[in-house]
Amino acid sequence: MDVIRVAVTRGEIVEAVHHFHAAAVQDGALVGAAGDPDLVAFFRSSAKPLQALPLARARDDLDDRDLAIASASHLASPDQLTAVRALLVKAPASEHDLECGHEPTRLEHNCSGKHAGMLALCRARGWPLEGYRLPEHPVQQGCLAEVAAAAEVDPAAIPTAVDGCGVVTFALPLERMANAFARLESLEAGARVAAAMRAHPDLIRGPLSADTRLMQAVTGWTAKGGAEGLLCAAGPGGLGVALKCEDGASRGLEQALHSLLASLGVDLPEAGPEVVRNSRGEAVGEVVLL
């Protein structure tokens, strides 16, 4: 399958065309692809469900809301911030302990739930809170091990860099990301994390995001988006998918996902063109599959 092409129009003019590469894996085998399934990209926030696994194993006092917000890239809505505060209380830790930076406050940073979860893990394991974001800290060493085990690759072979929130991020081929998501629910505590995300899709991102919308629309799917146009998801039967926009845009992810899943025979609610609106709320264009 060629790259998935999604156009952005304004009036009758095409203003942009986004190219998506994708991989689909089931039972360890590549069962579908678009463009280059071996394209290497950083996992970014799509890795959060895997990064939450050590937390889920270490703390039996956490509920679905706690694990969902630890896996989230939230938009600082009141419910989302309430969930972050609750996880910090359970840790226990304070907003001051968060090392995710200021947007505009540490609590409102879209990764504060993941960071609160990392602090809660530190408390459970007796590790120092300070510097938990650094590569040499046991938290980050553990996250590298989790990603490597889920993707079934040698941890020493995974290139790393600093993510937007200051923790470590991991580079993998899309096919390996899809493999990791395909295996998510078979991993220790993976089913618990996935169920928590599906129970609270509104905490994971927001009402317009492809990951939240997929989990709300289709039973049994777990999805998590990442920066620079990445989306990973796991469906019934151990199907894992990973999509990446070549230019890093997130527009069109939902249309691209539907195109990939349709090619695999997955029955989803129809995804019509996404409306482009101006600051007055007027429809001025569309985001549509080519």
CA distance linking residue 203 with residue 84, whole number of Å: 10
Mean pLDDT of the 38-51 span: 98
- Residue 271: per-residue pLDDT: 72
The two structure tokens encoding residue 109: 């940073």
Lowest mean pLDDT, pick from 167-171, 184-188, 264-268: 264-268
Q: What is the mean pLDDT of the chain?
A: 97
- 17-33 confidence digits (pLDDT tens): 999 999 999 999 999 99
Closest CA to 197 of 179, 217, 218, 221: 221
Q: What percent of the chain has pLDDT over 70?
A: 100
- 268-283 residue pLDDT tens: 887 778 899 999 999 9
pLDDT at 230: 98
* Rounded Cα gap, residues 186 and 100, in angstroms: 30
CA dist 105 to 114, 127, 181, 255, 280, Å?
A: 15, 25, 31, 33, 29
pLDDT attached to residue 273: 83
Q: Determine whether 219 is exposed, middle or buried from the number of CB atoms within 10 Å of its CB (0-12, 13-18, 19+).
A: exposed
Cβ contact 21:3 at 8 Å: yes
The β-bridge partners of 226 are 230
Which tens digit of pLDDT belongs to each residue from 122-171? 999 999 999 999 999 999 999 999 999 999 999 999 999 999 999 999 99
Domain with residue 137: its CATH number is 3.40.710
pLDDT at 1: 85
CB-based contacts of 74, cutoff 8 Å, min separation 6 = 80, 81, 83, 84, 110, 112, 113, 203, 204, 205, 206
> Could you count the other beta carbons within 10 Å of the beta carbon of residue 156?
7
Query: What angle, 0 to 180 degrees and rounded to 10, lies between the N-to-C axes of helices 253-263 and 210-217?
Result: 50
Report d(CA 61, CA 48) in Å as an integer.
20
Residue 103 pLDDT grade (very low, low, confident, very high; cuts 50, 70, 90): confident
Q: Give the per-residue pLDDT at 268.
A: 83
Whether the predicted model's global pTM rises above the 0.75 cut: yes
Helix H or strand E encompassing 26: strand 13-26
- Torsion, Cα of 255, 287, 205, 245 (10° steps): 70
Residue 97 has pLDDT above 90, yes or no: yes
User: Residue 92 sits in which domain range?
Assistant: 4-289
pLDDT at 102 over 90: no
> Which residues have C-beta within 8 Å of that of residue 43, sequence separation ≥ 6?
147, 169, 170, 171, 172, 177, 226, 230, 232
Helix 78-90 vs helix 112-125: angle between axes, to the nearest 10 degrees? 10
- pLDDT on residue 48: 98
User: What domain count does the chain have?
Assistant: 1
CA atoms within 13 A on the CB side of 290: 14
Q: How far apart are CA 235 and CA 220, in angstroms?
A: 6
